[in-house]
Amino acid sequence: MHESAVVTTVLGIIGLLLVAAIAAIALKRLKMPYTVGLVIVGLLLRLLVGQFHQLEPLASIELSPDLIFFIFLPTLIFESAFNLNARLLAQNLTPVLALAAPGLLLSTAIVGALVALFTPLTLGPALVFGALISATDPVAVVALFKEVGAPKRLAVLIEGESLFNDATAIVLFQIIVTVATGAAFGASIIGTGTLDFLRVFFGGLVIGGLIGYLMIWIISHADSDPLVEVAFSTVVAYAAFIVAEHNFHVSGVMSTVGAGLVVGTMGSTRFSKNVREYLHQFWEYAAFVANSLIFLLVGLSLNLGELSAYLGPISVAIVAGLLARALVVFGLIPLVTRLSSTRIDLRYQTVMFWGGLRGAVAIALVLSLSPDFPFRDLIAAMAVGVVIFSLVAGGLTMGPLIRKLGLADPSLADLVGVEQATIVAKNAAAERLKKISVSGHFSSSMVADLLADCETEIAKANRRMDDLRHRCSPSDMKKVLWTQALSIERTNYREMFEHGAITGAVLQELELAVDLTQDALRLDEAGMEDADLDRSATPLEERIANVGIRLVKLVAPNGRTVQRHQLASLAAKYEHDTAVALASRRVVTQLDQLAASSGIDPEITRACEAVWEKRRAAAIGRIDSVAEHFPEFASAVQFRTASRIAFEGEAEAVDDLASSGAIPEFAAAQSRKQVEQALQRLASQPVDALEPEPSELLAKVPFFATLEQSDRKRVVDKLAPRTVLAGTDIITQGEKGSSLFLISRGVVSVHSKQPQKEFERVASFHAGQFFGEMALLRAEPRSATVRAVTDCQLYELSRESVEELYGVCPSLESALERAAKERSG
């Protein structure tokens, strides 16, 4: 008997997958969104199962809350978080979190109130309904977005919200259910509820993040084998969910989100290309299976007949849901964007309003209500009604809506690009044909016919291109050129990464910047002169690390960790600037040819070239400044880059030899492994070339220059080296502090704010000079802010050290006193 249950389940799963695969083909033909289509197919299937008993295994799998939460959700959420662009998410975190937490609360309250007013539900159950129906479904929305090709930022806003608000909804639902089933409602519930929520939400994120990190750590210390790594990632997705729920009683959804974000972001820089591709393909397949099953099962579990008894309350629920969503999106977003400096276009807001589809989470929550919960049947009917309405009405109209709003339009640049591609391709075909006609193996009249076809196509494409050109205003033309320039830039970054010239983290940062400019260009968000081209150079991982470093600094400001971190940032900045300089040069050289082939006004071309020239000059300026102040460092970074390029070249050669059969596969595998290990070693090695050389400093500082050899050593022992990046505040006005800084390399500026005045730059110091003496001598707060203008190499001396050194170097005290007096003017 037991066996037959297994067989039925297997038959059920296989059968559903078969239906899903066939439906996928049919839905593509019908141009219907996949998820919506599957629900409809599921509904039809339910009717058929009643008629044909052979189909019964399909209905043997029941859609239970545990199935959704513990089997489907981890996969879907992990995949979504893994692929989410964490950098873009970080930039849009404020609106995303505002919608996911306060937005969800607001929506719960509005839906609850309306439903309590206009349906038989009492307030408690009405609020339960409000909570379970307010979470937008990541699956339905994300799948749809991929299909219609929505702008990247819009996708992140919606996807981010739906990932985070699942957790909020689940927690809120549990709290309200507890209250509604007896516990007295009062201020204490709100207080403990809020605390509980914060613990569950952020606790989950942290647990998942740690589990994800642990996986990365294990993998980066083991030999890489894609299959093992895929297995690890599966364990992480599920372990994050279950460990969070069962061992820590925090949100499993948030935990899986945390794990997915960490593995996706860190993995993209630590895994080899091979492993990354495997992981992506595996998770794409896993999500496809989970998606297919879940939506088919939703369809299969719905009983439309039963719903007809509740049409009144369902309509109220639908209207309440729409109203609440409208209020949350159109009310909260303008408010939040005013507080943070982001802007979210009204068209985006419209899509976010209409794109708040509801799905499996709502169904799972309803199913988890105990059978004796007041109004359970009515709540279930209303939830199902809203889900069907949102999936069918929303799902079917989303694509057209996005197109109508012009959010998925191919830009003029895309159109020109298509024509250009046709011309290039047809020209290549014509060349081949000419070659084979010479060989004499083919009938010349046939070749001539094919050639004539090519020429006609080329002529047509040229005509269409002319047409486009006539339709284009100069500003359109400018856009075309800009878009093409950005594509060249992006291709170059990819190439550099593939050749090992830049790391994955730097590549991601550069690509994101290109993406955002491209989106902005396409949607006319910004006048392109104003486009923020000098886009942030600090990779996200670094930014997160910066927060940690700040904490470490509080405990051990002189520690090795702080120094290493500074050097890593400097290396990333250097790499970033080198890439920008190189890519910008290629953009400029290629723009000329491009402009000629698309007939763009030379004036416009020159303006565009000037922008990239400027970027190049700025990047080179920054590289030069590092090279000037830290020549050893610059050559160490270059050495590392060159080694990486060499290793990548080696790997490519091995691949070529293996694929041509010149060396056996096992030998190739061995060589690949060696290269892989060498690359990993290189990545984990800090750039350590900034070992400071204190005697260099002593020679520059007047009061130390004349010291005897033995005294010099006593001074050197007391010096604590610091590397500070350009733009960092070394001293902040008003803070406590009593150490003296000596500049070994670089330039700093002094800014001071006097009462009723603006911050003013009062001085700059360079190598051989010192600052910070005033607070040291007078035991007062710092009198000014001192900022690194270039990257700097400094030495810090504590007050005790300075006082000891007075004995060794008598002129020190008077020099400090004199400076303090002059500077305080």
- What is the contact surface with ligand CMP in residues (CB under 6 A)? 731, 750, 752, 762-763, 771-775, 782-784, 786, 823, 825
* Unique residue bearing structure tokens 């830039």: 489
Instruction: Write down the least CB distance from residue 221 to ligand CMP, Å.
Output: 45
CB of 738: closest distance to ligand CMP in angstroms? 8
Name the residue nearer to ligand CMP (CB basis): 387 or 788.
788
Tell me how far apart the alpha carbons of residues 573 and 235 are, in angstroms, rounded to a whole number: 35
CB closer to ligand CMP out of 246 and 736: 736
Q: Considering the complex, what minimum distance in angstroms separates the CB of residue 729 from ligand CMP?
A: 11
Cβ of residue 197: shortest distance to ligand CMP, in angstroms? 44
Residue 120 or 734 having the CB closest to ligand CMP = 734
d(CA 154, CA 351): 8
Q: How far apart are CA 806 and CA 4, in angstroms?
A: 91
- How many residues in the chain? 825
- State the Cα–Cα distance between residues 221 and 231, nearest whole angstrom: 16
CB nearer to ligand CMP: give 664 or 734: 734
- When the beta carbons of 492 and 783 are compared against ligand CMP, the nearer one is 783
Residue 559 beta carbon to ligand CMP: minimum distance, rounded to whole angstroms: 23
What tokens appear for 366 in the block?
């309803």
Choice between 655 and 735, CB closer to ligand CMP: 735
* 126 or 784: CB nearest ligand CMP: 784
**Helix ranges restricted to H, 440-559:** 444-471, 474-498, 504-522, 540-555
> How many Cα neighbours within 13 Å face the side chain of 819?
19
Cβ neighbours around 298 below 10 Å, total: 26
Closest CA to 815 of 780, 775, 773, 787: 773
Nearer to ligand CMP (CB atom), residue 442 or residue 759: 759
Give how far Cα 788 sits from Cα of 236, 270, 556, 626, 745, Å: 43, 32, 21, 13, 11
Q: Within the chain, how many helices (H) and strands (E) appear?
A: 36, 8
CB of 723 to ligand CMP, least distance (A): 20
Angle separating helix axes 138-148 and 395-404, nearest 10 degrees: 40
What DSSP state is assigned to residue 735? Answer: -
Give the nearest distance from C-beta 163 to ligand CMP in angstroms.
Answer: 46
* In the complex, least distance from residue 822 CB atom to ligand CMP, rounded to whole angstroms: 8
> Min. distance of Cβ 819 from ligand CMP in angstroms?
7
The Cβ of residue 753 has, within 10 Å, a number of other Cβ atoms equal to 13
Q: How far is the CB of 676 from ligand CMP (least distance, A)?
A: 50
**CA separation, residue 505 to residues 78, 269, 532 (Å):** 21, 6, 20
Q: In angstroms, what is the minimal distance from the CB of 759 to ligand CMP?
A: 12
Q: Could you give the CA distance from residue 732 to residue 756 in angstroms, rounded to a whole number?
A: 18
| Nearest CB to ligand CMP, comparing residues 712 and 782 | 782
Residue 215 token pair = 């996986």
Closer of 588 and 731 to ligand CMP (Cβ): 731
Nearer to ligand CMP, 455 or 803 (CB): 803
Count CA atoms within 13 Å of residue 352 on its CB side: 33
CB 729 within 8 A of CB 767: no
Nearer to ligand CMP, 400 or 734 (CB): 734
773 vs 791, beta carbon nearer ligand CMP = 773
Output the smallest distance, CB 702 to ligand CMP, in A: 16
Nearest distance from residue 802's CB to ligand CMP, in Å?
Answer: 12
Of 727, 345, 341, 265, whose CA–CA distance to 532 is shortest?
A: 341
The distance of closest approach from Cβ of residue 736 to ligand CMP in the complex, given in angstroms and rounded to an integer, is 10
Number of C-alpha atoms within 13 angstroms, CB side, residue 766? 1
Instruction: Compare residues 181 and 752 and give the one whose CB is closer to ligand CMP.
Output: 752
741: three-class secondary structure by DSSP: strand
Question: Which residues contact residue 470 at a Cβ distance below 8 angstroms, ignoring those fewer than 6 apart?
Answer: none
Distance in angstroms (rounded) separating the CA atoms of residues 248 and 208: 11
**Which CA distances in Å does 88 have to 91, 93, 345?**
5, 9, 16
Q: What strand order describes the sheet that includes 770-771? A: 720-724, 792-797, 740-745, 770-771
According to DSSP, the residues that pair with 740 across neighbouring strands are 797
Structure token pair of residue 440:
């004499």
**C-alpha–C-alpha distance, residues 169 and 164, integer Å:** 9
Please tell me whether residue 762 adopts helix, strand or coil conformation: strand
DSSP 719-736: -EEEEE-TT-EEE-TT--
CB of 824 to ligand CMP, least distance (A): 7
Nearer Cβ to ligand CMP, position 282 or 704? 704
Cα three-residue angle 383-389-394, rounded to 5 degrees: 125
The minimum distance between CB 640 and ligand CMP, in angstroms, equals: 36
Say if strands 740-745 and 770-771 run parallel, antiparallel, or are unpaired.
antiparallel
Q: Which two tokens stand for residue 367?
A: 């199913």
Spatial separation of the C-alpha atoms in residues 365 and 170, rounded to whole Å: 8
Closer by beta carbon to ligand CMP, 426 or else 787: 787
Q: How far is the CB of 801 from ligand CMP (least distance, A)?
A: 15
Question: Which is closer to ligand CMP, CB of 390 or CB of 783?
Answer: 783
Helix (H) or strand (E) holding 792: strand 792-797
Phi, psi of 271 (to 5 degrees): -85, 155
